[in-house]
Structure 1
Amino acid sequence: MKRAGLIAGGVVLVLALLAGSWWLGLVSVAVMGAIGWTEYSAWARASQELEPWPWPAELRAGAEAMVRRIDPTPERIIPLAANQPDLAQVASTFEGLEQLLAERLPLWPWAVFASVLVLRRNAVQRRLRNCALGYQPGRGRPLNGQQYSHLVWKEMSKICEIVHQLETFMLSPAFTGALNAPECAADADSIVHIASRLMDYHEDILRAAERCLQTPVEADVIVFVQDVCAFAMCPLVGYDKFIATMCSRVAEGQELLPYANGVIELDEALLGIDLPDGLMEQINRHTKKFNP
């Protein structure tokens, strides 16, 4: 059977900041906080207790999905062909990844890339689950609202800087070049390296989220922590969706390749990080409350 190539350009991997460069907006807010807060509405100034911010359905669903491992084998849309050739599949074990790299079956570059993402993500499954649960305090003296707000702005600014680095990395020639090379010329070490580096950013974001959600606080600060949890979930949920989409794209390639006479194109896969409307305003209200 003639082997058809999977066009690398068909799957464009870019960081989609759906809410614009919100990391810049957050840095601007942090600077504003250092020189003095703007006036809020009368009801916000008068309110002593803030209700938890209502999570959008999509963000909540993404956080709920985070408690489960990512399945690298989505259900097939097209049934297996009678003469189905051997094709690369996303591996769920390190042994499977080694086999992928050794055999280099059709679709192997994308399968290797997705496999590294799945393995690294599922390795921190328990930590992701704890973050999705919200406030999970560790040991230590509880922080008051002012102390926690200082910690939060430091960690949130760190997350924003990581997102900026992530955007630059995914648009770099090294990243796009490793994934856009023809299958016959693809470099396994480069693919493993960029996938691992991508998940290093995920690890950095996860650590910052854990510091926000596992630091013990006084009772009147818990709602503040819950709202910070929504902020911390945004990039982690974006990663989960991207990894699941990459697994789906490899599965689609497996379905289409046996029927193709030439190059096939797949839909793009986006790593989208969406900051919902109203969330930063809510976090600002908490900060104002504890820093009058």
Structure 2
Amino acid sequence: MFGLLLVVGFIIKFFWWLVAAAVAVGVFFAVRAVMRHVGERGLAAAREAEEIAYRADRQNRMAQWGDPRGVYGVDGADVMRDFASEPQGQPDIVPDGPAIAALADTADGLLTLLKDKPPGWRWAAFASVLVQRRAGVRARLRDVRLGYGTPRGGAGSGAEVAHFVTTNLDELGKLVDQVESFMRTPAFMEVFGQRGDEGTADAEGILHVANRLMDYHERFLSLAERCRDFDGPSRYSGLMRDCRQLTNTPLDGYDTFVDDFVEFLTHMPDMMRYGRGTLVADPISLHMSIDDGLLKRIRTGIRAAARDG
């Protein structure tokens, strides 16, 4: 039973097409996710290749947007700032044309966005829901990452600890599978309408799918809180620490996804105003991947706890 630990190497990619001349933006959702058995070498190699591709996509996107992290990497960009200050350029002259949609960080702002529907509104509306929902649980997210909570429940034996960890990791795998299935449904993609025609987008549907995506986020958060608050014998503290690290992984993936989406929106006006023809941007990914060393420790810890009885 305890040897059948499943985990996910999971990437959902958002490929963006920007039709600058028409002042419209479209997206095609290409979704792929793979459930992997721990210990399968071929799939482990494939996961490593996906990790490299994911990091390359992010770095290339940063370079396109003029972010020094895209050229020097995160650490290199910090070093370069110590040697050379950021150049002070002249303010851009904004060409004539309609205002481009921007992120709405309040409920009233979102209502205004949906009423006015400026170019790019469908992506701004989707991102606005993600940002507002995440802001609503910000304190809980901080506490989870700090490991701050109130112990509740618990176990007195190794078998009970092993059962708790296995049950929660099984739930984690099911949640990831549900997110994958949700985003693969035609109904999820249809709400955004046709690629070059924002008039075909369904505003109510966009809010609905964005809220459902963040409902899953809250379920991941609740699972992480449950593992944080579990009160077991101190000899299993290492296993529980690894369990908490594992259940935090989807939350980290959501954070990166939302932050990348917001950053994309900040660059969308320039791409739509100054671009010509159809522009293809690098994908934005909802990415969840687990370190193999962490998985090995968890599997070993579960087996050891189960043997203790």
Selected match of 2:190 from 172, 177, 185: 177
The equivalent residue for 1:4 is: 23
Tell me the residue number matched to 1:196: 211
Equivalent of 2:93 in 64, 78, 81: 81
For 1:157 and 1:216, locate their aligned partners in 2 and report how far apart those are by CA, in whole Å: 19
Q: Is the 8 A contact 2:192 2:202 kept in 1?
A: no
Does structure 2 conserve the Cα–Cα contact (< 8 Å) formed by 1:13 and 1:269?
no
Distance 1:121 1:249 in 2: 18
Task: Tell me which residue corresponds to 1:71.
Answer: none
How far did 1:217 drift? 1.9
- String of CA shifts for 1:120-151, please: whole Å, max 9, x gaps: 11211111112212363424566443322211
Q: Residues 132, 234 of structure 1: CA spacing in aligned structure 2 closer, same or farther, 3 A cutoff?
A: same
1:216 counterpart SS class: coil
CA distance in 2, matches of 1:291, 1:2: 63
> Aligned runs of 1:1-292 on 2, under 5 Å?
3-9=22-28, 12=29, 14=31, 17=33, 20-22=34-36, 25=37, 80-83=92-95, 85-134=98-147, 136-139=149-152, 143-181=156-194, 182-292=197-307
Q: Tell me, in whole angstroms, the C-alpha distance in 1 between the residues paired with 2:247 and 2:284.
A: 22
Shift in Å, 1:257: 1.1
Q: Is the 8 A contact 2:105 2:128 kept in 1?
A: yes
> Greater strand percent: which structure?
2
Is contact 2:100-2:269 (8 Å) kept? yes
| Whole-Å separation in 2 of the counterparts to 1:275 and 1:140 | 27
Cα distance, 1:177–1:274 mapped onto 2, change above 3 Å: same
Q: Return 5+ residue gaps in structure 2 as ranges.
A: 1-19, 41-50, 52-64, 68-88
Paired with 1:203 and 1:239, the residues of 2 have a C-alpha distance of 11
Q: Which moved more, 1:128-137 or 1:183-192?
A: 128-137
Change (3 A) 1:102 1:216: same
**TM-score normalized by the length of structure 2:** 0.70
Residues 88 and 108 of structure 1 are in contact (CA less than 8 Å); yes or no, is this contact kept in structure 2? Answer: yes
Q: What letter matches 2:221 in structure 1?
A: L
CA shift, 1:2, in A, is 7.0
Asked if 2 retains the 8 angstrom alpha-carbon contact of 1:5 and 1:262, the reply is: no
Q: 1:166 to 1:108 in 2, by over 3 A?
A: same
CA distance in structure 2 between the partners assigned to 1:100 and 1:127 by the alignment: 28
- The number of equivalent residue pairs is 240
Distance in 2 (alpha carbons) for counterparts of 1:80 and 1:109 = 26
| Cα distance between partner residues in 2 of 1:142 and 1:135 | 19
Structure 2 counterpart SS, 1:96: helix
Whether contact under 8 Å (1:134, 1:226) holds in the other structure is: no
Farther off after superposition, 159-168 or 249-258: 249-258
Q: What 5-or-longer segments of structure 1 have no aligned partner?
A: 30-57, 59-74
> 8 Å contact 2:166–2:302 — kept in the other structure?
no
- 8 Å contact 2:21–2:275 — kept in the other structure? no
Higher relative CO (CA 8 A, sep ≥ 6), structure 1 or 2? 1
Q: Distance in 2 between matches of 1:209 and 1:234?
A: 9
Is 2:193–2:200's contact at 8 Å kept on the other side of the alignment?
no
C-alpha separation in 2, matches of 1:225 and 1:276:
16
Contact 1:90 1:111 in 2 (8 A): yes
Look up the match of 2:57.
none
Question: Cα–Cα, structure 1 residues 247 and 93, in superposed 2: closer, same or farther, change >3 Å?
Answer: same
AA aligned to 2:94 is A
Deviations 1:160-210 (A, max 9, x none): 111111111111111122235321211101111111111111111111111
